Amino acid sequence: EVQLVESGGGVVRPGGSLRLSCAASGFTFDDHGMNWVRQAPGRGLEWVSGINWNGDNTDYADSVKGRFTISRDNAKKALYLQMNSLRVEDTAFYYCARVRMATIEGAFDIWGQGTMVTVSS
């Protein structure tokens, strides 16, 4: 079964750090670009960051640039999001999503179930 499973969410104070992980199974991981998308409670979807198939190309939303770092380990079939200097406005469900192609951009055809990040003092 093609599957993405996120982990690493939790409650953190403003200024703190968290590292999200996304474990892939059921498909050839390095055939696909990957992205992180977040959704604040009761709000819409916001694209956060993306990485191409081999990790040599990454993109970030302006709202997280310089604070978040996306990476991948194709041997472990895993995607990561290192989140530093967290702000209250980063509170959201974070989804990892597979791209149909090897690039960052495209249709996100497989999504994980999401992991909740709460930034609160």
Partner 1 sequence: DIQMTQSPSSLSASVGDRVTITCQASQDINNYLNWYQQKPGKAPNLLIYDASNLETGVPSRFSGSGSGTQFTFTISSLRPEDVGTYYCQQYDDLPPYTFGQGTKVEIK
Q: Which candidate, 8, 34, 18, 9, places its Cα nearest to that of 111?
A: 34
Among 108, 115, 117, 119, binds partner 1 (CB under 8 A): 108
Stretch that binds partner 1, among 8-16, 66-74, 82-90, 110-118 (CB under 8 A): 110-118
Contact (CB, 8 A) for 72 and 78: yes
DSSP one-letter string for 69-83:
EEEEETTTTEEEEEE
β-strands 68-73, 92-99 pairing: unpaired
Q: Verify binding: residue 60, partner 1, rule CB under 8 A.
A: yes
| Least distance CB 121 / partner 1 (angstroms) | 27
Q: Which residues bind partner 1 (CB under 8 A)?
A: 35, 37, 44-47, 50, 59-62, 95, 97, 100, 104-109, 111-114
